[in-house]
Amino acid sequence: MRVATILLLGLLGCTTPEPKTTPAQAMKEHLERGDAARREGQIDAALREYRYVHDIAPSSEPGAKARDAIVAIEMARIARGEHLSIPQPSSEPPPPGAAHPETLLRVENRSGARVYVFVQGITAHLAELGAGGAVTLSVLPGQTEVGVRGDDPSALPSYGRHIYSVGALHRISLGPSPSPR
């Protein structure tokens, strides 16, 4: 019956439907489009493609590649533009139960608005924090860049380049931007 249907559709000028793209293929295509847009200087288009992949499967290999690209782009934008400085964060011994010598970075959002946190070092992290939110990230010791921006384009983003030590908990507390644009 299927062969007869295909033959009949062929005689009527119809073609058989193409097989559907798998999610893995779709993510690969979005990554490739993001890379191409980035090479062509179309940064917003590249970010849209990378965010699509990251939103679907953030812990997958394609999701990690997308995250790394998003963090690199956002960090470059923040560092190049006008920004507030994030001072070297306070440091204290890690909380009980933390794997030793784990290095932790705790970012607390006291700004009253949603913020996006970008961390770039040996590893990259991306976090969205609502007002009053906080996140603790496991980072590798050494030099790390931290960038933060909010939804409000009138608020200055913040940037800092820090050295994180082994086996410590480093804290960054974000408050309202003191100098709007």
Tell me if 117 sits within 8 A of 127, measured CB to CB: yes
Superfamily of domain 84-174 in CATH is Domain of unknown function DUF5300 (2.60.40.2890)
Report d(CA 59, CA 53) in Å as an integer.
Answer: 10
The alpha-helical segments, DSSP class H, found in the chain are 2-11, 23-39, 43-56, 61-80
pLDDT tens by residue, 97-147: 666 567 889 999 988 889 999 999 888 999 999 999 999 998 888 889 999
pLDDT tens by residue, 9-59: 444 454 445 567 788 899 999 999 999 999 999 999 999 999 999 999 999
Domain boundaries, the chain: 22-80, 84-174
Tell me if 170 sits within 8 A of 91, measured CB to CB: yes
